[in-house]
């Protein structure tokens, strides 16, 4: 799946670079470089799929909002639009990183042909340095999207009680969303079944996002390994990198504090009015 994100022309130039690096006894580094590239390309496909799924969820909720107006649903639709925007930006960031890596491969091959192995090594080193910061920024935004996705999933679950009052027409919508037209959901209350079906793609992506955050740290390690090949005496910049678990904890704490601010201000206003 990941390789499909690269067209044949791009793969040809990457294969040329692999061959050149292997000739210089750098087989492991060449494999690490290509794995990073394939990871980025594959991630871009998956993020693109997430955009489509969010659009589907939003459209179904918007249709329900038209037939059964509800402030909670209306607010949720707006938040889904915002989440779509963030995920789209993630895809754009990955596209830029992927293009930079492919460009690095092409420049490295040309450098080898024109000036030799040292020039090729320098191009690769520069290319790796150029994508580290964008990849770090991507990791930050990915963490934000994970937190937003979790909040959205919780909100969809929270409107289940209200959806219990909706009739058979909405139950039909739920079966339509599931993609199994005549599936019998009579064993569950209609509202619960509907929210479960709507939430399935979001919850599935939440699981995937958590795995991606763990995987991205492994990709950083591979980039460090390739860099070390060309600058063995340079210390690797791992100490400044915050772990996924710690980063998420920091972001959730910050988010919770921001949510409490309006409540504190409201309470203060009430006290002043007294």
Q: What is the mean pLDDT for each group of 10 consecutive residues in the chain (274 residues)?
A: 46 88 88 86 87 85 66 77 91 91 93 92 90 91 91 79 50 49 46 70 88 85 79 52 61 65 59 56
Looking at residue 104, its pLDDT comes to 93
Residues 230 and 261 in one domain: no
- The whole-angstrom separation of Cα 242 and Cα 212 is 15
Long-range CB pairs of 102-109, under 8 A, 24+ apart, other chains included: 102/6, 102/10, 102/13, 102/14, 102/37, 103/127, 104/128, 104/130, 105/13, 105/14, 105/16, 105/17, 105/33, 105/37, 106/13, 108/17, 108/20, 109/13, 109/16, 109/17, 109/20
Residues 101 and 215 in one domain: yes
Looking at residue 78, its pLDDT comes to 84
Residues 121 and 34 in one domain: yes
Looking at residue 214, its pLDDT comes to 85
Looking at residue 134, its pLDDT comes to 92
What is the DSSP secondary-structure string of 84-117? Answer: HHHHHHHHHHHHHHHHHHHHHHHHHHHHHHHH-H
Residues 252 and 231 in one domain: no
For the entire predicted model, the pTM comes to: 0.70
Residues 157 and 216 in one domain: yes
Residues 215 and 251 in one domain: no
- The whole-angstrom separation of Cα 123 and Cα 20 is 13
56-to-84, 194, 198 alpha-carbon distances in Å: 11, 14, 9
- The whole-angstrom separation of Cα 229 and Cα 30 is 11
Q: How many domains does the chain have?
A: 2
Residues 185 and 271 in one domain: no
Residues 253 and 231 in one domain: no
Element containing residue 77 per DSSP (H, E)? helix 71-115
Residues 229 and 259 in one domain: no
Q: Give the relative orientation of helices 27-67 and 71-115 as an angle to the nearest 10 degrees.
A: 160
Residues 46 and 173 in one domain: yes
Q: Residue 258: give the domain boundaries.
A: 242-274
Residues 189 and 274 in one domain: no
Residues 257 and 173 in one domain: no
In sequence order, what are the residues at sequence separation of 6 or more whose Cβ sits closer than 8 angstroms to the Cβ of residue 262?
Answer: none
Say if CB 228 and CB 234 are below 8 A apart.
yes
């Amino acid at each position: 799946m990941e390789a499909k994100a690269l067209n044949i022309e791009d793969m040809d130039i990457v294969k040329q670079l692999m061959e050149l690096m292997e000739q210089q006894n750098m087989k492991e580094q060449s494999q690490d470089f290509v794995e990073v590239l394939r990871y980025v390309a594959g991630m871009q496909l998956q993020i693109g799929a997430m955009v489509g799924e969010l659009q589907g969820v939003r459209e179904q909720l918007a249709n329900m909002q038209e037939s059964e107006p509800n402030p909670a649903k209306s607010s949720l639709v707006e938040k889904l639009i915002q989440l779509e925007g963030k995920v789209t930006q993630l895809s754009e960031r990955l596209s830029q990183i992927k293009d930079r890596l492919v460009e690095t491969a092409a420049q490295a091959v040309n450098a080898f042909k024109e000036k030799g192995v040292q020039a090729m090594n320098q191009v690769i080193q520069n290319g790796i340095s150029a994508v580290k910061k964008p990849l770090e920024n991507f990791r930050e935004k990915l963490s934000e999207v994970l937190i937003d996705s979790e909040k959205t999933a919780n909100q969809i679950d929270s409107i289940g009680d209200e959806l219990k009052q909706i009739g058979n027409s909405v139950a039909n919508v739920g079966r339509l969303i599931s993609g199994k037209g005549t599936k019998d959901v009579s064993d569950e209350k209609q509202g619960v079944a509907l929210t479960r079906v709507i939430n399935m793609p979001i919850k599935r992506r939440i699981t995937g996002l958590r795995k991606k955050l763990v995987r991205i740290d492994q990709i950083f390690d591979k980039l460090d390994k390739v860099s070390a090949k060309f600058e063995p005496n340079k210390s690797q910049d791992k100490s400044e990198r915050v772990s996924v678990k710690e980063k998420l904890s920091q972001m959730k704490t910050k988010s919770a504090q921001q949510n409490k601010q309006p409540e504190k201000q409201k309470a203060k206003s009430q006290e002043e009015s007294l």
